[in-house]
Each structure stands twice: as structure tokens, then as C-alpha cells.
Amino acid sequence: MTTTTGTPILRDEVYAELAGIVGEENATREPAILDTYAFQYIAEIVVGDSYMGRPGVVVLPGSAEEVQAIVRLCNREGLKYKAVSTGWGAYGAAPEDGLVQLDLRRMNRIVEIDTRNMYAVVEPYVVGTTLQAEAMKVGLNTHIVGAGANTSVLASATSVMGQGTTGVSTGFSNRNLLGFEWVMPDGELLRVGSFEDSGEWFTGDGPGPSLRGLIRGFAGAFGGLGVFTKCAVKLYPWYGPARLELRGVSPDYDLDIPENHAAYIIDFPGWEEMKDFGNMVGEAEIAFSMCHNAPAPAIASMTDSNLSFYELWKGGLFANMKHTLEVVITARDAEEFAYQEGVLRDIEKRCRGREIVSSHYDLHYFADLVLGLARGMRKAGLRTTARSALPILRFVLEALRKGRTPDAFAKTLYLALVKQNLQARGIFRFGGSFWTSMGALTSWDCCIENAKEGERIKRSWIEKGVLMDDGAENAWGGLYESGCYGHLEELAVYDQSDPVCKEGGIGFVVDTVKATIEKHLAFSLNAVGDPMHAAYSPHVFYYHRHLAGIKEEFDPGALSDATFYIDREGTEEFIRALEAGEEIDMRL
Amino acid sequence: MELEGLSKAVSSGSVETRPEILEGYGAGNGGGNAAPAAVAFPQDAVEVRSVVAWANDRKVKLIPVSSGRPHAGSNPRGEGFVAVDLSRMNRVVRKERRNRVAIIEPGVTFDQLQAELSKVGLRAMTPLVPRSGKSVLAAYLDRTPTLVPRAQWDLSDPLLCTEVVMGSGELFRTGCAAGPGTLEEQWATGQAQKNPMGPSAFDFFRLVQGSRGSMGIVTWASFKCELLPRAHELLMVAAESLEPLAEVVYQVARARLGEECLLLDGNALEALTGSDGGPSYALLLGVAGFDYRPDQRVSYQRKGIERIVQGEGLRLSRSLCRTGGRRILELLSTPADVSWKDSAGSHLDVYFLTTLDRAPSLLRAMRAGAASAGFDPYSIAVYVQPQVGGRVAHLEATLMFSPDDRPAAEAAAAAAAAAAAENGAYFSRPAGGPPDIAYRDRPLLVRTLRRAKKVFDPEGVLNPDALFSREVV
Ligand SMILES: Cc1cc2nc3c(=O)[nH]c(=O)nc-3n(C[C@H](O)[C@H](O)[C@H](O)COP(=O)(O)OP(=O)(O)OC[C@H]3O[C@@H](n4cnc5c(N)ncnc54)[C@H](O)[C@@H]3O)c2cc1C
Ligand SMILES: Cc1cc2nc3c(=O)[nH]c(=O)nc-3n(C[C@H](O)[C@H](O)[C@H](O)COP(=O)(O)OP(=O)(O)OC[C@H]3O[C@@H](n4cnc5c(N)ncnc54)[C@H](O)[C@@H]3O)c2cc1C
């Protein structure tokens, strides 16, 4: 028996066996529940429909042994399967119906925090905020990706990407992965790294070659290479209190910025100064966070409704203040703070940066604020400035009425960067959904080139009426590993219920992909799935052959769903089409 | 072995078969290894590819070598192989201050590199006293520990992007160097080959690193450079035992203070400085200032470290083994012709990874092991190198002895390694202990590594026995 799309319907005996592995209460074939796994963010761009395929069954294993038993059963029965940890996007699902979905939410334990050796061992459903709260109690912190504090630490470390706003001091998820426990595609269970020999998870490399390199690179396998049931990640020192006390209710949070910590938004004359500033701050190792958020999402996260956002935005002044970088300093003591802020201000001076937001207000800041706003007004012109003045004044008065202090923006910024709690507010609320593009991990100078190119391309798609007008410049990203590399991705917001946006959105993505290839702007974060591999691989040493080699060697039956990983045949078919000069459909 | 095809694969005169030359690639200082049938000296990646293609054709084993003077016994190797010596590929392809990066070929040595980098205000991370002529790339490819844990974000650091000829003969580039675009085209958009990840969803460089030449032959690599300090000094702390010093290291790592950070025992310090009077153990901690407010940086870091040291009831020493901090700092990373470890004539090393808190008990276990084999446990020299910001510790025990005592020393080293393994030592670089020590009880791991190799070296031409013996499981 098959579904309408031709995939086999799960036989009753197999369902019974799966339910036997996880317990009746942890397995379901209820259509209404299955559909919740299919209704996914960006499905409309990925497959052109609001729904991905409907899984044939959802099982909630509670241990690595249960995962192993499920994967073995899938191998025996020739069933496709896919794990999902926190389920934030279409990549947790497959385009076709019928797969065995492993929802790992029951595996939610922090197995260990090794305080001295600064790492944590987590199960799949441990999310950033939980690990962060526990780590802060012992003076440590974790890297949280820009998706937000409510996503799985393990999914990012083993299977997805890893960009986050504190990367300059907390690295990138790939680089933070130490050991891991891996239910391989055939159901064998391998613990990679130091654990088997030492009983500790302090490294994932060796003996000999590092198998970290097999399971992920810039991107992960997105569920295409078995299931990860546990992993160890690096933790980083945290020089703040054991608990960040928040006051107020969402979205109007307030907190006291800890002593010797500070948050700034710095405005620059243009992109070139931003390049210099990023490189210098990176190598000076003074920042806890150094990143860029465009004016639209920045204002969105500082206003409490779409209406108040729009009031502030429509005058146009802020769209002209796009050359900004955000910096958070978290020093251990006053002496270190004096050094770090001193260096920051030396660098600001060299790059003509002006602090337009600061939690550390002194004369320097107030002078900068005036000069920074004056620069923004000059860029915007008299008319735009005049149009913007009244709403800004109104906003300021309203804020004062609510009892906000002048450092309110800096506090919001600090929270957003330290706790990653404003992502959805900053990006989903304009049109209901967003897409991203460009975003290669590369030198900071080239990141800025990515942002410039992304803005240029996006403007044309805004003019076509496909994308929302967010000022066109909506790059997000920052530095990693003391500025060793960085990323700036170009976000695009759209109305997911509008057919024009749904249909047209992919066109914007295709343009950015072409630009990164033709203009050598490095390997975009969109390079996931067969059509994208086909676009990039011929320009990147035909990497798909080797990636496919790994997939075929370790999962010859192709049962671990590889929609967002690799299929050799699929990719090569697209390559042939591209070589024949055809346009290919980038949807999966 | 038919070598005509090999001669065609490289430029004329680049294949050596003279026995006296081949000898140097074999047994060496009593390593007991067979000499190769020939040595090929490719000049560039194209020639490397030709050699690998020839080997695939003929099913000949290849062993890459980058250090002009390879370590004795670098590889457990059988008979009938060809050494691919990359030491003639020795260009510093690029060095760049803005992105703190350099690109080098395999034959570049630490001596040569440092001279080049200092011209642009940079320095390379070095292992403890690299030997002269040592290939920088070979050291980084082997995850040899370097001296500044703060600068090491990942155990793979400072290695970044690579160009590599796979065992299959295909040329590949890893990390963002892979493209789109040639290196020149990438430079034109401001790129600098500093993201080591990918391309796409695998990190081939991680499979090549640590593989002892069994996955691919690297023809160039980029790596992280650090800024040349404007102010730089060494703080030294002596103690009766390792424990309080380890505690200081933990706190210093937490506070992200300091540059060089390593622990040595008295035997190691005496051998290194050439003077006696060493303390039981010492912690060496560099502090530095760079382009921004260098003196202020040194000052607050120094104060921070002093507070930690005093908190542990210890104090800073002005000199160790009658040698001042400035001289010791210089000794740590200056290449040497004669190894400090050979002060008694000969030496053997046992090295592995653990965490700092477990280092003292592992050391005791090793000493007991060596003693049970009749070796004086207190003559062992100890070097502990914190890595990855203090999360990992490389523990290295050196048995120094006169050449006549080799058999006894070998037995003692084996006993020490076995005792360490029993107590949880992690031989992440399998050459750190006796053959197969890291793989003996790991059939699934061995199978997985063999499968991974098959993807990139289907005929198994590259150093096939480099990691474990055929009978390991
Ligand atoms: C608004 C938004 C912003 C985002 N921003 C970022 C960002 O800034 N940086 C970034 O890195 N990513 C970002 N992402 C992508 C992604 O959602 C995140 O990387 C996220 O942390 C992973 O969590 P998730 O809930 O998507 O994971 P999941 O849905 O659980 O899984 C993601 C993928 O990994 C696979 N997977 C998950 N768990 C396992 C497992 N245990 N074993 C094997 N495979 C597994 C799944 O099959 C799926 O393909 C963003 C996503 C959204 C929706
Ligand atoms: C006897 C001995 C004692 C040692 N003691 C210590 C110690 O105490 N502490 C410690 O940390 N380390 C130790 N090592 C390891 C040693 O430091 C590393 O192997 C070294 O850094 C690189 O070795 P090499 O300079 O001999 O280079 P090589 O012999 O040239 O190379 C080392 C390995 O890398 C491979 N290789 C070389 N060039 C390439 C290339 N271009 N592409 C791909 N593969 C390549 C070779 O095949 C070989 O397997 C020891 C090694 C030996 C043999």
C-alpha cells in the first residue's frame, strides 16, 4: 500500500514494533499530530507549499539504545527516517510523505558540566537557554546560535551550521564540538573522541584522523547521516553574575547590566571603516560580542509593536544609519574593563566610529551621540530628517513616560546579544517569515563585500514587490574566534501568505547564489541540498563527489533522509542541466 | 620495483635510489624501519598528482615526508614503499598582516618561517623547541601541541585551509580556500583562506590531519598567525608538586590571561637550559602586549596572574636553573639542531592527551610502570602542555638514557604507556605510545576509519599501515 505520493504506508506490524521500542505513549500515527511535523518555517520557499511531507509515524525515543533499535528496524524494513531535536525549520522534515520521524524531545538532559575543563555533555533536546542558565551558575557560558536560545545545542553542533552573535568570543558550533555519540546510519553506535579511553569528553579528535570531519563541515548533514544522541561542546568563561535577573514581561524586559560589562552601537561613515574596525576589534580580543544588525531589525527589537516600529521607521532617518556595529564588553574587573574600553575607543577614533548607543555613559558617549546623529542626518538629508523628527520625539517621550532610562537601548542590546532572546521579534514579525542568503564564513573584509552585494540584489527584488521593504540593507552577522573569520548574511522578509512572495522569493535566492559564484564572494550558507550543490560544486573542486562518497559508504541504502544533505544522482542531473544552459528549479 | 614511470612523474633527477640516501628515510637512529625503494621529490602539486597516479596504477605504497630530516621511526611501515619527500616545495606563498595568516608549502621550516613572518609583524605558533629543519606543516598536520593555549580555539589549530592530493589522485582544497574562485580571485575580494570549515558538509582537513599521511598529501596550507608582541615577558612559578601549578593554570585559563603556558619538571628544565638546580616543577607563563596599549595589557595581565599565584600560596621566581625569564622564553620556541632530550645520548617519548586535573595521577601511574621495568622513575622528564584554552592537556614523558641502554628503556617506555592507558590516557596521536595502543579494543572505530579511508583512497596507496597494524582487531 502506498500514499498518494507513492511512499509505502507503514504496516501495522512495523508500527507495533516501533511502539514496542519506545512505548505506546511515545509513538503516533495521528494525522493531526503528523501534520504538525510537516507545517514548517520556509516550506513555501523550499518546496513551494506551506507543508513539507507528512511523516508516516512519529516516535519519541528516550535513549540512544531506543534510537539504535529504531534505526536498525528502519534498515531491516527499508524505511526512510529522520531525527529532529527542536524542529525549527523545514530541514527537520522531508518533501515526501511517509518517513519515520524520530522526535528526540525526551532526550533532554544535561549529562555533565565539567566546570574545570570547561565543557558540557548534552542530549539533543537541551536548548541554548537551559545550558546557558546552568553554565552561568558556575561561571561559564555557551555559544548560542542566532536562531535563538530555544534551539538545540546538539543540532547546531553536529548537524546544522552555527552562526551566533557572540562568536568573536564563543566560536562557531562546528569548532565547539568535542566528542559525540553517533547512531550510525546502519544502527551501530560509535562514540567519537576521548570518551571511550578516558571516560571524559574533553576532545573529539582522534585517535588519528578526526571523525568530526566526516559528519560535518561548514554545514552539517541535516539529518542525512544517522542520529546523534549526545555530544560534548566547549564552554567559555563568563564574567557576569550566576543569574541574569530579568524584570518585566516579554517583550519589555529590563535588567541591570553587570559591573564591568557594557554594550554599544557604533556608527561609521561607511563600509570601509566597518571593515577596519572589525579587523582591529577582532585581533585586540576585547569584545564578548561584535556583530552587525541592520537598522530595521534593530529597531524592531527595541519597539513593542509593529505599529510603533513603523512609526519610527517610516520617516527614513534610521534606514540611513546602516553603517553600524554592535559591541558588548564583559570584563572580569575594573582594570580589565579600563583596558578593553580604552582600546575600543582608540579603535573607534581610528575608524571614525561614534557611539550612538552606550550603556556606559560619560561625556565621551554624549558627544559621540550628538556627532553620530548629526552624521546620520547628513546622510539622510534635511527632508528625511524633518520627517523623522516628530515620531522619534514621540517615541522618546513615551519611553520616558514608561520610566525608561537613557541606557534602555543598551540594555535591550545587551540582552539580545548575551541571551539571544530577541530573534523572533527582530525578524519574523514584519511579514511572518524571512529567508536568508550570502553569509559565507570568510574574512571580515569579504563579509562586508557580501553585505554590499546582498543589499544591491535585494533592492531589485523589493522593487519587484516580492520582498518587503526593510531598507534593503538587512545584513546580519559578526566575527568568530577573535576575528579569524566572520559572516554577514542578507536577510529578506516577506509575507508568507502572499502568493507573489511565495512564488518569487526563490528568485532572490538564485540571484544571490549566482553573485557569490561569479564574483567570488565565497561559499554561501545557502549551499545546502542537491540543486545548490549543483550550482556550487563545479566551482568548488566538485566537492559533491566526495560528500556523496561519504553518504554512499556509510548509508548505502540512503535511508537517513538526505534531502538537505546529498544525493549523487540528483546533484549530477542538475549539473548536467546547468551545463546545458538550462535554468534549474532551486526548490527541493 | 619498476621505477621508470615514477621518474616520468617528476622532473628529471627527482627520483633517488642511492642506498646511502634511502637509508636516511629508513631505520634512522635505531628506529628499526625498512628503507624505501625510492624517494621522489615532487616540485609542485601537479607532480604530486602524477606520483599518486603512478602509485595507483602500480599499487605501490607511498609515504609522504615533509621534514628534510624525518624523525626516526615516524611511521610503522613495511617494505616496498616509495617516500614522497616534499621538502623541496618550500615557498612561503603568502604572509598577510591584516588577516594574520600565512600560506606555506610542506618544506617550509620553523627557522625559515619565523624570519619571514617577523618582517610583517607576525609570529607562528611553535611546538616546544622545534628541531631545526622541522616542517611546520608536518607538525601542524600531526596536531603537535603549540605553546599558547589561549590562541588555540580547536585542537586542529593553527591549521586552517589546505590543498591536498587525495589517495585517489584527485586535487582538492579545503575550507573557504576551495572556492568559488582561484586564490588570486579570492584575494581580490578581500578573502584570506582563514575559515577552515568545509567546503559543504564535511571537513576533509580534519580527516587528513592526524592521519599520518594516510588520507592525502598536502601541498600547501594556510594557518593562523599571532601578532608579534610589542612587550613580552615570562612569569615563572616553581612548586614541589604538579597539583598547585595545575590549579594556577585552570584559573589563568578561566581569566583568559597570558600567552605561552606550559609546565615542566626539573629534569626537563635542566635539559632545556643546560644548567642544574631545577625545581620539582615549574609553570612558565608568557604575558604580552600587542599593537594596542601594550604596556597596559602586560600590566593588568601580570597583576591578575600574580593574584592567582599568591592565592595558591606560591610566588613568582626570578630565574629557574639559574636562567632568567627572557632567556627561557627565547629557548622555548627557537629551533635547535640537537634535541634537549638527547642530553644523555638518546631518548624515548610517551605522549597522550588528558585533562590537567588528571595529569598528576597519570604521571604517578607512568612512573610506577617505568619503575616496574627497572627504570629510575625520577629520571623521566615531564612536559605538560595545556591546549584549547586549558580544556585539554598534552602530557609528554621523556625517558632519557645512554644509547647502550635502549632495550631497557624501550621496555620501560612500553610499561609506562601501558600504565597510562590503563588509567585513562587518551592516545589521540597513535605514535605517542606503542603500536596499536589507541585502537586495540576498538573494532568499530577501526572499521569506520578504514571505510573513511576507502572514500578518499580507494586503492589504499597512501601510508596504509600508518595508524594501526593489519591485525589490530
Ligand atoms: C529564525 C531562524 C533563525 C536561524 N538562525 C540561525 C543562525 O543564526 N545560525 C544558525 O546556525 N542557524 C540558524 N538557523 C537554523 C537552525 O534552525 C539552527 O541552526 C538551529 O539551532 C537548529 O535547531 P533546529 O530547531 O532547527 O534543529 P532541528 O530542527 O532539530 O534540526 C535541524 C536539522 O538537524 C537535524 N538534526 C537535529 N537533531 C539531530 C540529531 N540528534 N541527529 C541527527 N540529525 C539531527 C535535523 O534532521 C534537521 O535537518 C535559524 C533558523 C531559524 C528558524
Ligand atoms: C621518535 C618520535 C618521537 C616523537 N616525540 C614526540 C613528542 O615527544 N611530543 C610530540 O608532541 N610529538 C612527538 N613526535 C611526533 C612528531 O613531533 C610529529 O610527528 C612531527 O611533528 C612531524 O614529524 P616530522 O617532523 O618527523 O615530519 P614528517 O616525518 O615529515 O611527517 C610526519 C607525518 O606526517 C606525514 N606527512 C608529512 N608531510 C605530509 C604532507 N605534506 N601531507 C600529508 N602528510 C604528511 C608523514 O607521512 C608522517 O606520517 C615524535 C615522533 C617520533 C617519530
**Which of A311, A317, A319 has the alpha carbon at shortest distance from A386?**
A317
**A84 CA to centre of ligand 1 in angstroms:** 9
Q: Per residue in B223-281, pLDDT tens?
A: 999 999 999 999 999 999 999 999 999 999 999 999 999 999 999 999 999 999 999 99
φ and ψ at residue A193, rounded to 5 degrees: 115, -155
Confirm whether the ipTM is greater than 0.85: yes
- The CATH number assigned to the domain holding A80 equals 3.30.43.10
Give the gap in angstroms from C-alpha A168 to the nearest C-alpha of chain B: 11
Say what the pLDDT of residue B473 is: 83
Longest dimension (CA), chain B: 69
How far apart, in whole angstroms, are the C-alpha atoms of residue A122 and residue A230? 6
* CATH domain B231-333 topology: Alpha-Beta Plaits (3.30.70)
* In a shared domain, residues A91 and A143: no
List the helix and strand counts (H, then E) for chain A.
23, 18
Give the gap in angstroms from C-alpha B377 to the nearest C-alpha of chain A: 23
How far apart, in whole angstroms, are the C-alpha atoms of residue A214 and residue A220? 10
* In a shared domain, residues A157 and A97: no
Q: Where are the alpha helices (DSSP H) in A138-194?
A: 153-154, 167-170, 173-176
Say what the pLDDT of residue B448 is: 98
Q: For chain B, which residues make up each domain, given as ranges?
A: 4-85, 92-227, 231-333, 340-432
Compute the CA torsion angle B73, B74, B78, B80 (nearest 10 deg).
-110
Q: Per residue in A246-304, pLDDT tens?
A: 888 876 788 999 999 999 999 999 999 999 999 999 999 999 999 999 999 988 888 88
Strand partners, A479: A486
Contact yes or no for B250 and A116 at CB 8 A = yes
Arithmetic mean of pLDDT over chain A:
94
Q: Which residues in chain B are closer than 8 Å to A343, comparing Cβ atoms?
A: 292-293
**B473 CA to centre of ligand 1 in angstroms:** 38
Is residue A244, in this structure, part of any structural domain at all? no
Is residue A355, in this structure, part of any structural domain at all? yes
* In a shared domain, residues A430 and A475: yes
How far apart, in whole angstroms, are the C-alpha atoms of residue B210 and residue A573? 36
Residue type, B86: L
Q: Which residues in chain A are closer than 8 Å to B173, comparing Cβ atoms?
A: 541
Candidates B180, B202, B300; nearest CB to A213: B202
Counting ligands in written order, the one closest to the CA of B139 is 2
Compute the CA torsion angle A126, A129, A132, A136 (nearest 10 deg).
-130
Candidates A117, A206, A284; nearest CB to B428: A206
- The answer to whether A519 contacts chain B (CB < 8 Å) is yes
DSSP class of residue A48? S
Count of residues making up chain B: 473
Cβ–Cβ under 8 Å, residues B158 and B124: yes
* In a shared domain, residues A356 and A386: yes
Assigned C-alpha cell, A336: 580589565
Q: Based on the structure, what is the number of domains in chain A?
A: 4
Strand partners, B85: B65
Q: Per residue in B355-414, pLDDT tens?
A: 999 999 999 999 999 999 999 999 999 999 999 999 999 999 999 999 999 999 999 999
pLDDT of B74 above 80 = no
Report helix, strand or coil for A140. Answer: strand
pLDDT tens-digit profile, chain A (588 residues) = 445 544 557 899 999 999 999 999 999 999 999 999 999 988 888 888 889 999 999 999 999 999 999 999 999 999 999 999 999 999 999 999 999 999 999 999 999 999 999 999 999 999 999 999 999 999 999 999 999 999 999 999 999 999 999 999 999 999 999 999 999 999 999 999 999 999 999 999 999 999 999 999 999 999 999 999 999 999 999 999 999 988 888 767 889 999 999 999 999 999 999 999 999 999 999 999 999 999 999 888 888 888 889 999 999 999 999 999 999 999 999 999 999 999 999 999 999 999 999 998 889 999 999 999 999 999 999 999 999 999 999 998 988 898 888 788 899 999 999 998 877 777 888 888 899 999 999 999 999 999 999 999 999 999 999 999 999 999 999 999 999 999 999 999 988 888 888 778 889 999 999 999 999 999 999 999 999 999 999 999 999 999 999 999 999 999 999 999 999 999 999 999 999 999 888 877
Cβ–Cβ under 8 Å, residues A518 and A538: no
**A114 CA to centre of ligand 1 in angstroms:** 25
Count of residues making up chain A: 588
Assigned C-alpha cell, B208: 587528513
Arithmetic mean of pLDDT over chain B:
95
Cβ-based neighbours of B365, under 8 Å, separated by 6 or more: B419, B420, B422, B423
Task: State the closest ligand 1 atom to the C-alpha of A423, by its place in the atom list counted from 1.
Answer: 1
Is residue A281, in this structure, part of any structural domain at all? yes
Contact yes or no for B190 and A443 at CB 8 A = yes
- The CATH number assigned to the domain holding A188 equals 3.30.465.10
Assigned C-alpha cell, A574: 542538475
* In a shared domain, residues A119 and A230: yes
How far apart, in whole angstroms, are the C-alpha atoms of residue A492 and residue A310? 17
CATH architecture of structural domain B340-432? 2-Layer Sandwich (3.30)
Contact yes or no for A207 and B171 at CB 8 A = no
Is residue A433, in this structure, part of any structural domain at all? yes
Cβ-based neighbours of A102, under 8 Å, separated by 6 or more: A59, A60, A61, A67, A70, A81, A82, A83, A84, A227
**B29 CA to centre of ligand 2 in angstroms:** 15
Say what the pLDDT of residue A588 is: 72
Element (H, E) at A102: strand A100-103
Angle (CA) B397-B403-B406 rounded to 5° is: 60
Domain span holding position A558? 530-579
Counting ligands in written order, the one closest to the CA of A222 is 1
- The C-alpha cell 513603523 sits at A310
How far apart, in whole angstroms, are the C-alpha atoms of residue B127 and residue B116? 18
Q: Per residue in B363-374, pLDDT tens?
A: 999 999 999 999
**B403 CA to centre of ligand 2 in angstroms:** 22
Say what the pLDDT of residue A49 is: 85
* In a shared domain, residues A478 and A437: yes
Contact yes or no for B202 and A550 at CB 8 A = yes
- The CATH number assigned to the domain holding A409 equals 3.40.462.10
Cβ(A87) – ligand 1 distance below 6 Å:
yes
**Residue B70: pLDDT band with limits 50, 70, 90:** low
* In a shared domain, residues A144 and A69: no
Is residue A151, in this structure, part of any structural domain at all? yes
Does this model's pTM top 0.95? yes
Secondary structure (DSSP) of B345-413: SEEEEEEEEE-GGGHHHHHHHHHHHHHHTT--GGG-EEEEEEEGGGTEEEEEEEEEE-GGGHHHHHHHH
Is residue A525, in this structure, part of any structural domain at all? no
* In a shared domain, residues A502 and A354: yes
- The answer to whether A284 contacts chain B (CB < 8 Å) is yes
* CATH domain B92-227 topology: 3.30.465
pLDDT of B96 above 70 = yes
How far apart, in whole angstroms, are the C-alpha atoms of residue B44 and residue A77? 50
Q: Which residues in chain A are closer than 8 Å to B198, comparing Cβ atoms?
A: 217-219, 441, 523, 543
Task: Write b or e for each residue in A454-478: b if 16 or more Cβ atoms lie within 10 A of its Cβ, otherwise e.
Answer: bbebbeebbeeebbbebbbbbbbbb
Give the gap in angstroms from C-alpha A560 to the nearest C-alpha of chain B: 15
Cβ–Cβ under 8 Å, residues B48 and B5: no
Assigned C-alpha cell, A507: 528568485
How far apart, in whole angstroms, are the C-alpha atoms of residue B140 and residue B137? 5
Give the gap in angstroms from C-alpha B208 to the nearest C-alpha of chain A: 6
Burial class (CB in 10 A: 0-12, 13-18, 19+), A5: exposed
* In a shared domain, residues A210 and A116: yes
* In a shared domain, residues A19 and A63: yes
Give the gap in angstroms from C-alpha A235 to the nearest C-alpha of chain B: 9
Q: Residue B294: is the preceding peptide bond cis (ω within 30°)?
A: no
The residue contributing the CA closest to ligand 2 atom 49 is: B212
Assigned C-alpha cell, B228: 608579534
* In a shared domain, residues A413 and A507: yes
Strand partners, B399: B348
**A453 CA to centre of ligand 1 in angstroms:** 26
Asked: is B4-85 a CATH 3.30.70.100 domain? The reply is no
Q: Do domains B4-85 and B340-432 have the same CATH topology?
A: no
Say what the pLDDT of residue B75 is: 55
* In a shared domain, residues A285 and A348: yes
Contact yes or no for B296 and A342 at CB 8 A = yes
Secondary structure (DSSP) of B48-95: HHHHHHHHHHHT-EEEEE-SSSPPTT-S---SSEEEEE-TT---EEEE
Cβ(A101) – ligand 1 distance below 6 Å:
no
Say what the pLDDT of residue B76 is: 57
pLDDT of B451 above 50 = yes
